[in-house]
Amino acid sequence: MGRRRLVVANWKMNLTTPEGCSLVEAVLGTAKQRPEVDVVVCPSFVSLQPLGRSLAHTPVALGAQDVFWLGKGAYTGQVSPRMLVDSGCRYCIVGHSEARGRFGSEPPRPLSYFSDTDETVAQKVSALVFANIVPILCVGETALERQDGRTDEVVAEQLAKALERVAPEECSNLTIAYEPVWAIGTGNVCDADEAARMCGLIRDEVASITDSACGDQVRILYGGSVKASNCAEIFANSQVDGALVGGASLIADEFSKIVLSA
C-alpha cells in the first residue's frame, strides 16, 4: 500500500475560535470529496478544545502547533502531550523554524523568546510518539545556509538529532516536513524539482538513521509559501506526500483547492 497524502493547515497566531470553526465548516465538504487524503488543521492552543468537539467524527483531524515534553509540572505557559490528547489532537507540529527563532523574513524582537533547539525538538518528538500523537517534524535551511552550500548538511543534522530517540518500529507515528526557512511567509516557493530532491534526501536520511522500511513508510511534506497556484507542481513528484500550509490555509477556498490537488 502506498503512502496516503497529507495536507496540514498551520494557522499560526491567526483566527479566533469562531473564525476557525467557520473556516473548518467551509473545508469539511472538500475533505469529504477526497477520502484518500488526510486533512489536519492546527489552530492555536486556545481553540483546540472547541475545534476538537467540532471535528469529532469528521474526516478532518485536529493538530497542535507545539508541545512541551513532560506530562505535568511547574512549567508556566506550556502544554503537555496529555493535554493535547485530552483536546482530541492526533497530530502536532514540532521544530518549526519560527519556534527555533529562524525566520524567512524580518523576525520580531526579541529573538530570545523563540528557544527551540535540536535537543528540545528531540525531546518533543519522543514525547509525542509515546503519547501516540503523530509528530510533524519540521526541518529546513536558511537562505544563508543554502548560499553557503550547506543545505543537505543542515537538514541531515537536524534529522539525526531529532530522531535519535525514535526506534524504527515507531516510525509509523512520524511525519516530516521540509520547510526551507527562506520560503516561509516570504512568497518565495522552492523550485518543485529541488523540493522533490530534498524530500528524497530526507527519506534516505531517515532510512539511514532508522531502517529502510521506515524510510519507505514515513510521510514527507513540503512547506513554504504553498498556494493553490503552485501546489499541483509540487505534488506531482512521488517523493512529496503532501504539504504543510501556512498563510493559504487561512482562506477556505485556497486551502480547499490545495486539498483537491493532493
| Residue 239, burial from CB neighbour count under 10 angstroms (0-12, 13-18, 19+) | middle
User: Can you say whether the dihedral through the CA atoms of 144, 149, 150, 151 is positive or negative?
Assistant: positive
Task: Assign 236 to helix, strand or coil.
Answer: coil
Catalytic-role residue among 25, 96, 119, 141: 96
C-alpha cell at position 257: 483547492
Question: CB neighbours of 76 closer than 8 A, spacing ≥ 6?
Answer: none
Q: Is 104 helix (H, G, I), strand (E, B) or coil?
A: coil
Instruction: Select which of 157, 179, 233, 254 is catalytic.
Output: 179
Q: Is 96 designated active site?
A: yes
Task: Clarify whether 57 is annotated catalytic.
Answer: no
- Please tell me the distance from the alpha carbon of residue 257 to that of residue 122, in angstroms, as a whole number: 34
Neighbouring CB atoms inside 10 A of 18's CB total: 10
* Residues labelled as active-site residues: 96, 179
